[in-house]
């Protein structure tokens, strides 16, 4: 066993003594030692209950003959960090989470691991570490939050963000917003809707590194506790069979996950995280592959925020297994021979899967959209690509042309939107918000929600080298690369320039000729760093483009 490095033989008597100082018996030390990495804390609603998930996982490991050893990681709540300097630390936390799990697993050589995340950067960070360390492992998340109820309708966190814009537009009173605030987030779990956390927890399942049900069983359900116990037992099976993460997360498995991404209409942040995870698996996954998969994978689930259905309804309809079962007959199909965390092939896992509600999970012959949920646009404004959640764009905004309204920070743009200074037809440009320029590629949920709340969602586009929350809807193109801080064309846009968007043709262009762009580039100066000390300052020096997953340089 790998843990013999720290526990077996005469020379390891001091090591065993330290383990006994914790209270472990000789029998517990002799058993396989299973690291259980978790992100329990008391600031993130998606993580506040992970102590219960942890105890359930530990129970499952003990049932199957192992000794669980828990350790913690950090986490950031993107909702609480939104629209203030804290958001600069969110994406950057992904690398710290990955590194911390790697450190724990290498300094204390566990035989296997179970990782327990829930929210936006914790799930991809833990998956990156799992593939980097490559010992038998799987993941079990904390599960999604239930939707709230307000004035007879399902509501969620993004409803509150949009409510701010409605108050500014005088279509909602402050008293109603206060009532909405109390109702929107009814309890623990990752925010209700196909936002980034739930997207990544579903894709962990689709890749095969989490058990069926991981992405959709509600946080408050007893089935979530049972799943956690099953995960504890399942990791012992993976250890016995020596099935490792890279045996599961193959190129074919990532293709399957991208198909599920398109079918569900997942967050645009998956286009950052999936390539970063694939890189740790030593799988090449260029950005262009997302378009290839999108063009042959129909969008068959219309989920919050772009549609009416919740994660709970998706779970009741059969969850990710039912979606994958339906995709078998799509043009792109699925690779059914891949291995999964159950110790069985995907084909075996899907044998009993079925769609229980054909409106929540539509047949591929009657999709919500013929193409997948995400599109990558290219053009002289985004030579290396820009990403849009096309399934959440209203039809009249799939093709749009308008004057650029240019802002060098999210705060400036937010003030202009809420101040009534943005007009129908405008294209809002928010730049110097990329991985380096942000730094940390901050999410833009506040301005995008304000646009919706102000009633401009059907007439205003937003473009940024930053990124969007999974809660974003509308014609919002993010990850524009190269970013402005690296001299990308988005940094050369001037107020009033015409920007044309054609999502169907995967095109985005700036109506300025090459000579004029060259003149502007010659006069351009890189901006001074926004943060000059600490981790994020170091991160800005080391981070790569959003088009490559915003991973750190080797």
Active-site residues, by number, are: 469
Q: Residue 413 is inside which H or E element, if any?
A: helix 410-418
Q: Residue 498 is inside which H or E element, if any?
A: strand 498-502
Q: Residue 389 is inside which H or E element, if any?
A: strand 382-389
φ, ψ dihedrals at 115, nearest 5°: -115, 135
DSSP conformational letter for 507: E
- CA 358, distance to chain mean position in Å, is 26
The CA-atom distances, in angstroms, between 399 and each of 445, 450, 479 are: 22, 21, 19
| Burial of 13: CB neighbours in 10 Å, binned 0-12, 13-18, 19+ | exposed
- CA 261, distance to chain mean position in Å, is 11
Q: Judge contact between 50 and 39, C-beta under 8 A.
A: yes
- CA 63, distance to chain mean position in Å, is 32
List of residues 6+ apart from 414 with CB closer than 8 A: 83, 446, 447, 450
Q: How far is the C-alpha of 65 from the C-alpha of 32, rounded, in Å?
A: 8
Q: How far is the C-alpha of 127 from the C-alpha of 120, rounded, in Å?
A: 12
Paired residues of 388 in beta bridges:
375, 477
Q: Judge contact between 489 and 383, C-beta under 8 A.
A: yes
Q: Return the sign of the alpha-carbon dihedral for residues 100, 106, 109, 112.
A: positive
| Burial of 9: CB neighbours in 10 Å, binned 0-12, 13-18, 19+ | exposed
Question: ∠ at Cα 247 (245, 250), nearest 5°?
Answer: 95
């Amino acid at each position: 066993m790998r843990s013999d490095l720290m526990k077996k033989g005469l020379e390891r008597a001091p090591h065993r003594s330290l383990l006994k100082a914790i209270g472990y018996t000789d029998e517990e030390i002799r058993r396989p030692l299973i690291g259980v990495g978790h992100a329990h804390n008391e600031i993130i609603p998606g993580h506040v209950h992970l102590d219960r998930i942890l105890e359930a996982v530990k129970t499952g490991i003990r049932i199957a003959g192992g000794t669980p050893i828990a350790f913690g990681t950090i986490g950031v709540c993107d909702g609480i960090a939104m629209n203030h300097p804290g958001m600069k630390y969110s994406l950057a936390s992904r690398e710290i989470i990955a590194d911390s799990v790697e450190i724990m697993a290498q300094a204390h050589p566990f035989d296997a691991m179970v990782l327990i995340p829930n929210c936006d950067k914790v799930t991809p960070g833990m998956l990156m570490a799992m593939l980097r360390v490559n010992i038998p492992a799987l993941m079990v998340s904390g599960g999604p939050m239930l939707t709230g109820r307000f004035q007879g309708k399902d509501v969620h966190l993004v409803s509150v963000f949009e409510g701010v814009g409605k108050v500014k537009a005088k279509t909602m009173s402050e008293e109603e917003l206060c009532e909405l605030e109390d109702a929107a987030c009814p309890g623990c779990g990752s925010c209700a809707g196909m936002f980034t956390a739930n997207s990544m927890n579903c894709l962990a399942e689709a890749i095969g590194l989490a058990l069926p049900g991981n992405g959709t069983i509600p946080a408050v359900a007893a089935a979530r506790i049972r799943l956690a116990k099953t995960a504890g037992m399942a990791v012992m099976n993976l250890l016995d069979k020596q099935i490792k993460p890279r045996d599961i997360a193959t190129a074919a498995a990532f293709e399957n996950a991208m198909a599920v991404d398109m079918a569900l209409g997942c967050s645009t942040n998956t286009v950052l995280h999936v390539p970063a995870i694939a890189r740790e698996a030593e799988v090449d996954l260029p950005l262009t592959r997302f378009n290839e998969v999108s063009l042959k994978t129909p969008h068959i689930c219309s989920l919050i925020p772009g549609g009416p259905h919740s994660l709970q309804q998706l779970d009741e309809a059969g969850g990710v297994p039912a979606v994958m079962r339906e995709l078998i007959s799509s043009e792109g199909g699925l690779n059914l021979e891949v291995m999964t965390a159950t110790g069985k092939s995907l084909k075996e896992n899907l044998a009993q899967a079925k769609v229980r509600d054909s409106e929540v999970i539509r047949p591929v012959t009657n999709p919500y959209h013929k193409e997948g949920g995400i599109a990558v646009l290219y053009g002289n404004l985004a030579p290396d690509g820009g990403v849009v959640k096309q399934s959440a764009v209203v039809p009249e905004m799939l093709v749009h042309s308008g004057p650029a309204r240019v802002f060098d920070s999210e705060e400036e743009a937010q003030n202009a939107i809420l101040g009534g200074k943005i007009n129908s037809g405008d294209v809002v440009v928010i730049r110097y918000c990329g991985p380096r320029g942000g730094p940390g590629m901050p999410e833009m949920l506040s301005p995008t929600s304000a646009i919706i709340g102000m009633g401009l969602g059907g007439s205003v586009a937003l473009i940024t080298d930053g990124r969007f929350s999974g809660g974003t809807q509308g014609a919002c193109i993010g990850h524009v690369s190269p970013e402005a801080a690296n001299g990308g064309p988005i940094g050369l846009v001037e107020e009033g320039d015409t920007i044309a968007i054609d999502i169907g043709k995967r095109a985005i262009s700036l109506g300025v000729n090459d000579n004029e762009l060259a003149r502007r580039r010659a006069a351009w100066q890189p901006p001074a760093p926004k943060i000059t000390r600490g981790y994020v300052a170091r991160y800005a020096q080391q981070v790569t483009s959003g088009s490559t997953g915003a991973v750190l340089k080797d």
